[in-house]
Amino acid sequence: MANNSPSEFIYTDQFWHSLFYFNVYRIAVVICLVAIWKFQLSNFGGHNYTLFLQAAWGHVILSSISILMNRLRNPNFASQLTLQITIDIIFICIMIYASGGLQSGLGTLLLVSLAGAGLISRGRMALFFASLATIGVLLQETYTFLSIQGYSAQYTHAGLLSMGYFAVAWLAHQLASYTLASEQLALERGVDLANMAQINQLVIQDLQEGVLVIDKHGYIKQRNSYAEILLGLPPQSDSKQPERLSRLAPTLATRLTIWHDDASTIFDLLKLPDCDTVVRTRFVSLKNSSWAGVVIFLEDMSRVQSQVQQLKLAALGRLTANIAHEIRNPLSSINHAAELLAEEEQTSPVNPTRLRLIRIIGENSQRLNKIVQDILHLNRRDIAQPESIDLEVFFLDFLEDFCHSECIDRDKLKLDLPNSCTIIFDRSHLNQILWNLCCNAWRHSQQQENSIHIKLTQSEHKTKSYLDVIDDGPGVPPQQLKQLFEPFFTTAVSGTGLGLYVAREMCEANHASLECIKNTVGGHFRITCENSVTHA
């Protein structure tokens, strides 16, 4: 039955290994004693050499059996250690008697056994073993005095030897206590270091910049996932040998060499070929590291610029929204006055110059009003009310309204939808986004039959819907792709530059995305809805 008492001690593999080597030592010592007797280097076995040899070989046999029990780990550790120390005390006392008493010097062998037992057991039962050794030596001395005629009992020697036993046992107990305290402290420190290493790994992985740890030989010891994305590296495997920085990122290796020669070097921004991203490189030396490595930080400048742009746009949005409200009232008055002038011109003699000026006032008033509306829509982009939209019904109404308002024939637009497809989106937002995309597509298309193609496709697992608006025009020039969704960027003379920007912001408000697909014939814009639902 297992002992579940509080005093139960858990013996690890280290204890069993120590006990194995202790058994080997015990066998080796006894074999040495037999060899000394064989070559008559001492008076071992002087009183009864037959008994001395029998005790010696009996000790060797039992110690060998102890090694086998150690391998089987049966019985438990404490029982095996107690049995072996008892065997040492009994057989060494027999050999002391066979050698003529304590003057043979064999009693000192128990000092080593007691010290070893105390250290192996971490001080547990050390004083008990010393008591057994003391009793064994005193009984042996008494029996020798009674059985050997003319023998003078050396109780003083036995007493001093017994004191030595207790002193060694106490010293072993103290050393074991210090050892246990050191092991416990080392275990706690190891747990703390493991937790700290795990925390550091999580922090590095979550950093919004690439991190590479390079050793003094130029090998990549550690890297985070963002660095792998920036440099186009394969995922790092724990079992895989570290690779050289010069092979995976030669440009960074060259910069690292330059930085080693002169740490004050200021590097220009680096454009990474794998992801077409501009990064700022920063090198930090690990002077306290055992392998004196370097940490390379790769700061994605596009992310920084995007954050700065968002802050600017947030402030600009609040400012322009206020300005838009202030402009709207005088703008309405200007537009109303222009309409009154136009009506007055109809009842008076025709003046072409005045009509042209009135038309200019009206057109620019409408343009300013559209800018104001776009700004106000932008300010309300987060107020989304998503609902389930049947795209087949939605597009029938949308195309009818769009073609009628923009004076476009219906056959100029091609619609390609699966049967009974629904998405989750704000209806007014979707209407405004598609209206803007279709206006841009019509303006840049060849304005022929099926010049605008609207189609919907599903992802493989039907978790996303892709709504594409494609035209047969020349497409978006590559140099304009990065500026395409920036506010107030436009190539149209009468455009405001807010249409695509507002459309993308509204997509994000509906947990969707809007992107321009590159490397296609004609303009190609795609709305990706994350929360689409498809019915069979």
Express each pLDDT in 3-47 by its tens digit.
Answer: 444 344 567 788 888 888 888 988 999 999 888 888 888 888 888
Shared-domain flag, residues 113 and 132: yes
Residue 517 covered by a domain:
yes
Residue 191 belongs to some domain of the structure: no
* 513 lies in some domain: yes
Q: Who wins on pLDDT, 519 or 439?
A: 439
Q: Where are the alpha helices (DSSP H) in 380-426?
A: 391-406
Same domain (yes/no): 227, 133: no
Tens digits of residue pLDDT in 219-237: 888 888 888 888 877 776 6
- Shared domain for 265 and 362, answered yes or no, is no
Instruction: Identify whether residues 350 and 396 lie together within a single domain.
Output: no
Residue 471: what pLDDT?
92
The model's pTM is 0.44
Q: Which pairing describes strands 413-416 and 452-458: parallel, antiparallel, or unpaired?
A: parallel
Q: Are residues 168 and 47 part of one domain?
A: yes
Over residues 238-297, the pLDDT tens digits come to 556 778 888 888 888 889 888 888 888 888 888 777 666 788 889 888 775 545 688 888
Q: Which amino acid is at 129?
A: F
Least confident of 1-5, 86-90, 191-195, 324-328: 1-5
Task: Give the integer Cα–Cα distance in Å for 36 and 389.
Answer: 101
Query: What region, left, alpha or beta, does residue 385 occupy, with left being phi > 0 and alpha being psi -120 to 50 degrees?
Result: beta
| CATH code for the domain in which residue 283 is found | 3.30.450.20
Q: Are residues 33 and 111 in the same domain?
A: yes
Count structural domains, the chain: 4
4 within domain boundaries: no
Q: Tell me how far apart the alpha carbons of residues 8 and 215 are, in angstroms, rounded to a whole number.
A: 46
| pLDDT band of 493, cuts 50, 70, 90 | low
Q: Give dist(CA 278, CA 55) in Å, integer.
A: 84
Question: Is residue 326 very low, low, confident or very high in pLDDT (cuts 50, 70, 90)?
Answer: confident
Instruction: Give the per-residue pLDDT at 536.
Output: 36
Percentage of residues in the chain with pLDDT exceeding 70? 86
Same domain, 25 and 152: yes
Q: Cis before residue 75, ω within 30 degrees of 0? A: yes
Domain-terminating residue out of 132, 155, 186: 186
Indicate whether 153 belongs to any domain: yes
Q: Is residue 406 part of a domain?
A: yes
Q: Which amino acid is at 216?
A: K
Q: Count each helix (H run) and each strand (E run) in the chain, helices first.
A: 14, 13
For residue 481, being part of any structural domain is answered with yes
Q: What is the pLDDT of residue 16?
A: 87
Give the structural domain span for 483: 387-534
* 309 in the same domain as 247: no
Same domain, 361 and 406: no
Judgement on whether residues 132 and 213 belong to the same structural domain of the protein: no
Q: Does 129 lie in the same domain as 37?
A: yes
Averaged pLDDT for residues 430-441: 89
- The token pair at 306 is 């995007």
Q: Residue 346 belongs to a domain with what CATH number?
A: 1.10.287
Q: Residue 153's CB: how many other CB atoms inside 10 A?
A: 15
User: Which of 245, 278, 303 is the last residue in one of the domains?
Assistant: 303
Same structural domain for residues 290 and 239?
A: yes
> In this structure, are residues 421 and 534 in contact, taking their beta carbons and an 8 Å threshold?
yes
Measured distance CA(137)–CA(24) in Å, rounded: 24
pLDDT reported for residue 535: 40
CA-nearest of 374, 362, 360, 363 to 323 is 374
Domain C-terminal end among 286, 303, 320: 303
Domain assignment present for 453? yes
pLDDT surpassing 60 at residue 381: no
Q: Pick the residue with more confidence: 162 or 355?
A: 162
If one counts every other C-beta atom within 10 angstroms of the C-beta of residue 504, the result is 21
What does residue 436 show for φ and ψ, rounded to 5 degrees?
-65, -45
Phi, psi of 416 (to 5 degrees): -130, 100
CATH number at residue 410: 3.30.565.10
